[in-house]
Amino acid sequence: MAESDVTAWIRRSLTKEVVLAFLLGILVGLVVLGWGLWPVGWTDADPTDLREIHKASYLQTIADSYALTADAEAARTRLEALVVPGEDDSSVAAQLQTLVKARLDAGRADEALRLQGLASALSLPPSSTPAPSEDEPTTTGTGLQRAIGTAFFLLLLGAGVLLLLTQLQKREAIRRRRLPSATGPLDAAEEAAVGVVTAPSEQSLGQFETAYAIGDSEYDVSTSVHSPGGEFIGEYGVSALEEVLLEEAEGISGFEVWLFDKDDVRTETKVLLSGQAFDDAAFREKVAHKGELLRAQAGQVLSLDTANLHLDATITDLEYVDDAQAAFANLTAKLEVSAS
């Protein structure tokens, strides 16, 4: 699928209901279920992941076991499990010193002696940095931090959705041939390319006439719409279909007539097909996602409506390459846009 097809599909599919459902899914799935009802549970964690108060209990258990068994190798192995990768034994020594002081202050001298005996037996290096107290947890996942993180995530998500909607309101494709605002004058080159612009009616916000000729496979003409006060409010135009019915045939098999309104997230599109392309069910299915499909006829009037704009496109002349009507030799259309 071409990039323009993807963009058109997004414009058609991304409605307010879809955006609301997406946000609701994020809220329920992440916040309610992921953080509330079924939060992540940790299993098989290493001793280094314990809170300080639990590390203190782990150290005391090692000291008590060493006092009973005098197995220095087992005690060292258990202590090494507390060493964070990239650090040395001084961090464990600092935890032992802090725990010894805490036990003495609490009047639990026997436990303090067993801790001192463990430190002496294993010849742990002195520590210049005191370890956190066992009564002062160092975990950062506090309720306040979680609330701030949730609020920041939702704010970021809302900003992303707003940016997406803003970008969808702009026609991103770079037009190969773009007209100035139809309310302004055209120079000779522009008149030759798109036909002479006739005087618009009183209700008109702009109009132009354009003609396709065989060989212009990248035919793509558009112009912007401005309010009487000069504010940009939309765009409209005619584009050649990228898809062709027969690869070997000269000319193109259809045109997209489209209307974009900056206050409407969707770009309204109708597709004019050649006679043979319209009768070909497989080809119609191939291009059905682009918009309503119509058989092109001389004198035909197409009407497109958005939130604020109305477009009438009149096919004033058309000619096929041959009697098979597989591709257009030329097509002339007059487009006029007005406030809806």
Residue 193 confidence (pLDDT): 41
pLDDT in tens, the chain (340 residues): 444 455 555 555 566 667 777 788 777 777 777 777 777 776 767 777 778 888 888 888 888 888 888 888 888 888 888 777 767 677 778 888 888 888 888 888 888 888 888 888 877 665 544 444 444 444 444 566 667 767 777 777 777 777 666 655 544 433 334 444 444 444 444 444 444 444 455 578 999 999 999 888 789 999 999 988 888 899 999 999 888 888 777 788 999 999 999 888 788 999 999 999 999 999 999 999 999 999 999 999 999 999 899 999 999 999 999 888 999 999 999 999 998 8
Non-local CB neighbours of 121 within 8 Å, separated by 6+ positions: 66, 72, 75
Q: 322 is written with which tokens?
A: 């041959």
Half-sphere exposure of 247 (CA within 13 A, CB side): 0
Residue 126 confidence (pLDDT): 56
Q: 210 is written with which tokens?
A: 């354009």
In this structure, the strands spanning 309-320 and 301-305 are antiparallel
Task: For residues 267 and 43, give the distance between their C-alpha atoms in angstroms, rounded to a whole number.
Answer: 52
Residue 279 confidence (pLDDT): 93
What string of H, E and C letters represents the secondary structure of the chain? CCHHHHHHHHHHHCCHHHHHHHHHHHHHHHHHHHHHHCCCCCCCCCHHHCCHHHHHHHHHHHHHHHHHHCCHHHHHHHHHCCCCCCCCCHHHHHHHHHHHHHHHHCCCHHHHHHHHHHHHHHCCCCCCCCCCCCCCCCCCCCHHHHHHHHHHHHHHHHHHHHHHHHHHCCCCCCCCEECCCCCCCCCHHHHHHHCCCCCCCCCEEEEEEEEEECCCCCCEEEEEEECCCCCEEEEEEEEECCCCCCCCCCCECEEEEEEEECCCCCEEEEEEECHHHHHCHHHHHHHHHHCEEEECCCCCEEEEECCCEEEEEEEEEEEECCCCCCCEEEEEEEEEEEEC
> Please, are residues 265 and 11 in contact by the beta-carbon 8 Å criterion?
yes
Residue 337 confidence (pLDDT): 94
